[in-house]
Amino acid sequence: MQLNELSYLQTIAQQHSISAAAAKLNLSQQRLSRIVQNIENELGFKIFNRSKKGVSLTKDGVQFMKYLQNILTAYEDMQHIKQKQIQSKHLICGIDKHISQFLLKEILQVFASYPQFTFSFVQFDSAYEMIDALLAQKVQLAVNISAGSLAQDYFYAKYSPEFDIACYPLAKEKMYGIVHQNNPLSAQAAVTLSEIISFPMTFCAADSTYSNLLQNELAAPINIFLETDNLELQLECINRNLAVGLLDGFTLPY
């Protein structure tokens, strides 16, 4: 006997009629009658009393239906668990739109090392919006470029430690101050953050993570000349010596 055939017995008991149950199950009455007879023969007892008025459960049938309900419920529970396990292997990953054009290839290469999972990506306008989605469990992962421990300190300050957020580095890259060749900083092999913010600055987005990080870390105001999503426009400001930029090696265009 098959599990789906056993479920037919429930329908018959509910309808009190083999013909009505057959119509509901989209089966012929003859086929359903044959299935019931085969099950009864295999069990060794009658499940239904048959009469011109329909069918009713025998004493053995009443007891059997109790066991059958437990079996079918357990089967449904197992199917539900199996479906959740399948779904848990698909992860939705949030990514800041300002970095997706530079890092998506590298991110896919990292995720390719986890063949047991499948991934889909959702772009967000800012890192803050993305972290909010992570806290709301709309995404299971969030990928962002950050200035190392500065970013973690900033996010932990903004989002209370009561939230269960863990930061894992996928890759490391140096930060670069981008300046015009006539800027005094261009002669230095390395510069400090304090030196960087002494000049007008350009950032890759409004309310940039980097501008907030710098202000929180240095506790000093920043002269923001331009915030734009357009990297070419940002570089043009630097080429004209109107501002200095702060970029990481991933988004550095050359």
DSSP-assigned states of every residue in 86-128: HHHTEEEEEEEHHHHHHHHHHHHHHHTT-TT-EEEEEEESSHH
The answer to whether position 70 is within a domain reads: yes
Domain end residue (candidates: 67, 86, 105): 86
> Based on the structure, what is the number of domains in the chain?
3
Residue 8 has pLDDT above 60, yes or no: yes
- Could you list the residue range(s) of the whole structural domain that residue 41 is in? 3-86
* Helix, strand, coil content of the chain in percent (nearest 5): 50, 15, 35
pLDDT at 168: 66
pLDDT at 216: 66
Q: Say which range, 173-177, 195-199, 231-235, has the weakest mean pLDDT.
A: 173-177
The answer to whether position 168 is within a domain reads: no
Residues 94, 70 share a domain: no
According to DSSP, residue 55 is labeled: E
Confidence band, pLDDT 50/70/90 cuts, at residue 245: confident
| Cβ atoms within 10 Å of 21's Cβ, excluding its own | 23
Identify which of 108-112, 157-161, 204-208, 233-237 has the greatest average pLDDT: 233-237
The answer to whether position 169 is within a domain reads: no
Tokens encoding 219: 């506790």
37-53 average pLDDT score = 91
Q: What is the pLDDT of residues 110-135, one digit of tens each?
A: 778 888 788 888 888 877 788 888 88
Domain end residue (candidates: 86, 108, 138): 86
Q: What's this model's pTM, rounded to 2 decimal places?
A: 0.42
Q: Say which range, 18-32, 47-61, 165-179, 190-204, has the weakest mean pLDDT.
A: 165-179
Contacting residues for 20 by C-beta, under 8 A, at least 6 apart: none
Residues 108, 55 share a domain: no
The answer to whether position 58 is within a domain reads: yes
pLDDT at 93: 87
Q: Is 199 helix (H, G, I), strand (E, B) or coil?
A: coil
Residues 49, 121 share a domain: no
pLDDT at 147: 47
Higher pLDDT, 202 or 99: 202
Rounded (10°) angle between helices 29-43 and 18-25? 110
Confidence band, pLDDT 50/70/90 cuts, at residue 46: very high
pLDDT at 85: 55
Confidence band, pLDDT 50/70/90 cuts, at residue 249: low
Tokens encoding 29: 């009455």
Residues 181, 240 share a domain: yes
The answer to whether position 68 is within a domain reads: yes
- Is residue 185 within 8 Å of 244, Cβ to Cβ? yes
Contacting residues for 118 by C-beta, under 8 A, at least 6 apart: 89, 90, 91
